[in-house]
Amino acid sequence: MELEQAQSRAKELRAIIERNNRLYYMENAPELEDFEYDALTRELKAIEAEYPQLVTPDSPTQHVNEAASSKFSKVAHAVKMESLQDAFSFDELREFDARVREAGVRPQYVVEEKIDGLSVSLEYENGRLVRGSTRGDGRVGEDVTENLAAIRAIPQTLPAGAPEFLEVRGEVYMPHKAFLALKAEQELQEKTPFKNPRNAAAGSLRQKDARITAARGLSIFVFNLQQVRGRSFSRHSETLDFIKSMGFPVSPRYRVFDSIEEALQEIEAIGQKRGALEYDIDGAVIKVDDLAARETLGSTNKFPRWAIAYKYPPEVKQTVLREVEVSVGRTGVLTPTAVFDPVFLAGTSVSRASLHNEDIIRGMDLRIGDTIRVRKAGDIIPEVIGVAAHAENAQPYRMPETCPSCGAPVVHLQEEAALRCVNPECPAQSLRNLIHFASRNAMAIDGLGEAVAVQLTERGLVHTVADLYTLTMEQLLQLDKFKEKSAQNLLEAIERSKENNLDKLVFGLGIRNIGDKAAAQLAEHFGTMEALAHAGEEEIAAIDGIGAVMAQSVTEFFAKEGTRDLLRRLREAGVNEQWRGEKKGTALAGLTLVVTGTLPHLSRQQAEALITHNGGKASGSVSKKTAYVVAGEAAGSKLTKAQALGVPVIDEAGLYALVGEQPPV
């Protein structure tokens, strides 16, 4: 490649890589799979190695890619959180071993699974968690202490004998079971699901509301001792044993080996079993065990010279596409699913994969009978990645022009990739609406899961959610596996749902683009279903956090004749249509407060509720705009930042004084 060509290609590669870095680290929505990203990075490294004059200080090969988000306060890491050099063949690992030995080190190696998650630091003083942060660019990360404290696997306090100060590094991850549950919930609400468990973990940890983080089922494996006072160690394996004794979940599989060949055998063994793991790994890590030898080897400006990560190649198999099934979602979106001859991928047999929308199918020129290439994204979600060979005389697949459920014409709305059935009486939409209406975050009708919902709709007992409130014991006893007790329990759950607050009903109606939080904002702001139904777009859009798109969805929903009839029937059935929350006070109107530490009587959530009920805004981070920081015991970095910025600090009693209430005795 000539210099001019190399310069052009390097510029192109940097732009692609930096774009994916932003999507991957900041938006948790990558466009490239890991192996595709790695291939582009290796190509850029090769060009820069051949033409060193093309290396730029801001090249993604010269720095850790993740940047700290502006949503959280910054944390400067006392010990740099380095990334690892990647290897894609055993020969590269042998070359790593040769470099270690050339430096005069006769190593023993620790081999560990490389957990695919979000790297974090945890700091403890006198046995108490005082700060948690993300890696960021390795030198500066994000303060996510409260979110990390919401993860059950992370200890808040350490056992007796803990050192005066301890900092450990770990990887926050989302187990497969939690990821599949979250994905199913997102798909039910027709939100764009996270692409893989790693992005789901990152997105869940970077929530402004720690309650969301707590509900996502995250966990952690700790894999490194960053700093410690009052203790000394000579080997990495000793530090892992010590960390484990302090109550941390440590790297699940770590062993010490005397040679690189033994280490390679362990990497092969990990690779053979990775499909059966309950969490994602994207490789295995080899580390020099001797800590003094690590000091001798040192680091480059980006990687330690005493460790290297082996990346397993993606498993791709070929199979034959037999059919494309099209399902209809809650809001009428048509979703195509590829049905193919079963193949064994990442530990399980796979025969189906979502094709998402018509654009994906057209882009691959997919035809029934084609030999297709299939893999598991993140080793968990099956996906079709391309066509290996077209079937003879086959025609490109076309999405149906009519709804497969009701036969009504489908439409391609502007600025949407998906086709949509707009028939409000479509049976498939009725089923998904019913499942959503009964779900936990909506009307929470125990006993009305998908299997029961299917029976209710297929037997013609329920056409809209209002029909639930006319069901009888005799009708329910027609359902499979229903006895008097289960029928009575379901009837009682339906009756209890009438007493739910208005926000649950608003969310349960399944208004497009309106999640549970937005539903609560609308219910609290308007107070009644009638007021919300008659509100204009401008009034709705003016609510903080709602906006024009959501406002349009709300007004379009309530303008439908079917909606008006549905609300009338729900009202006649006795379903509550009033907001029953306390009316907001104004004592803290226009003020932003931050709660940190442990308060004497209030949990953090209770303190934040007190703030919002009095017109204030409860924030998770301290800035110059913060009016007060409410600090309790072990307040940590937020208190320190408040003092540095000159933000007034008050205690729980001070908070009660601001809102004009007496604190608990």
Which of 113, 124, 304, 297 is closest to 223 using CA atoms?
113
Residue 425 CA: distances (Å) to CA of 64, 331, 395, 510: 53, 11, 33, 14
Q: Which helix (H) or strand (E) holds 19?
A: helix 3-21
User: Would residue 114 show up in a list of annotated catalytic residues for this protein?
Assistant: yes
**298 φψ region: left (φ > 0), alpha (ψ -120 to 50), beta (else):** left
d(CA 222, CA 238): 14
Query: DSSP readout, 186-228?
Result: HHHTTPPPPSSHHHHHHHHHT-SSHHHHHHTT-EEEEEEEEEE
> Phi first, then psi: what are they for 489, rounded to 5°?
-60, -40
d(CA 45, CA 61): 7
d(CA 615, CA 226): 42
Helix axes 176-188, 427-438, angle to 10 degrees: 120
In contact, 423 and 334? CB cutoff 8 Å: no
Residue 157 CA: distances (Å) to CA of 93, 124, 491: 39, 8, 46
Interacting residues of 458 by C-beta distance below 8 A, sequence separation 6+? none
Of 71, 80, 114, 625, catalytic? 114
d(CA 439, CA 98): 58
In sequence order, what E strands does 98-190 have? 109-115, 118-125, 128-134, 140-142, 165-173
Beta bridge partners of 223: none
Tokens of 12: 């192109």
Residue type, 267: I
Residue type, 595: V
d(CA 277, CA 264): 20
Q: Which helix (H) or strand (E) holds 50?
A: helix 34-50
Q: Which of the residues are catalytic?
A: 114
